[in-house]
Amino acid sequence: MYPVDLHMHTVASTHAYSTLHDYVAEAKQKGIQLFAITDHGPDMADAPHYWHFMNMRVWPRLGGRRRHFARHRGQY
């Protein structure tokens, strides 16, 4: 069995309580090798503010190093 979790929301979605950093630490602790953040999109009623999506172009450093993420180049 491959340890994955492909449906996780961050504090950007109104019903979640964890940050990306929280999920990275928990995944490492539990041995999860792959996870996906599935925050609500800009057209949903409880979606994050517009600037949340604009700031997705500025990726955080995790563990002191910048990680590589796929980038969506669409317009928001």
Burial class of residue 70, CB neighbours in 10 A (0-12, 13-18, 19+): exposed
Q: What is the pLDDT of residues 54-71, one digit of tens each?
A: 776 666 666 655 555 444
Domain ranges of the chain: 4-66
Specify the pLDDT at position 69. Answer: 47
The rounded distance, in Å, linking the Cα atoms of 41 and 66 is 24
Specify the pLDDT at position 7. Answer: 92
Asked whether residue 3 carries a pLDDT value surpassing 50, the answer given is yes
Measured torsion, CA atoms of residues 24, 59, 46, 3, in degrees rounded to the nearest 10: -30
Amino acid letter, 51: W
Q: What is the pTM of this model?
A: 0.59
Q: What is the pLDDT of residues 22-48, one digit of tens each?
A: 888 898 899 888 889 888 877 888 777
* Mean pLDDT across the chain: 75
Q: Which residue has the tokens 């190093």?
A: 65
